Amino acid sequence: MAALAPVIVPERADSADARALIAELERELDPHYPEASRHGYSVEKLLREAVAFFVTRHAGMPAGCGGVQFFGAEYGEIKRMYVRPGFRSHGLGRLMLGHLAAHVRQQGISLLRLETGIYQSEAIGLYERFGFRRTAPFGAYRDDPLSAFYEMRIG
């Protein structure tokens, strides 16, 4: 039965499973946010920016994904975090957050940040329960009424 437990594996963002997960995430976000408020990276940009990308598999099925981009030694930023609807409420989002935080910590970085849309209430709840706190826009982001910015000290 241990083989059925969820596992997180590094995977290229252009693999078939990663592409499918990212496309599903885009379809979920599309009705809620205009293009100017959509900050998610394309598959090509994930690769170009060397985002460390991971896929969660549950019972062998691709159930979710997430990545982290490093901004020097200053911070890591979560990118393209997603859990398929049929796999939600099983702790997979929390599992991925823990994995990404550990990956950032292993690089000697003690700050983890993210941007999410204000209508992603399930995700916002998860981030806040995990320990993220609201912050001002960071990096290249500008104030956007449809964006929420979070950070967490992990070091």
Q: Tens digit of pLDDT for each residue in 40-96?
A: 999 999 999 999 999 999 999 999 999 999 999 999 999 999 999 999 999 999 999
Instruction: Domain count for the chain, please give it.
Output: 1
The full length of the chain comes to: 155
148 touches 124 (CB < 8 A):
yes
- CATH (domain of 79): 3.40.630.30
Rounded CA-CA distance 70/107 in Å is 9
Residue 124 identity: I
| pLDDT more than 70, % of the chain | 98
- Tell if the pTM clears 0.75, that is, is over it: yes
Residue ranges making up the domain that contains 91: 2-153
Rounded CA-CA distance 117/71 in Å is 21
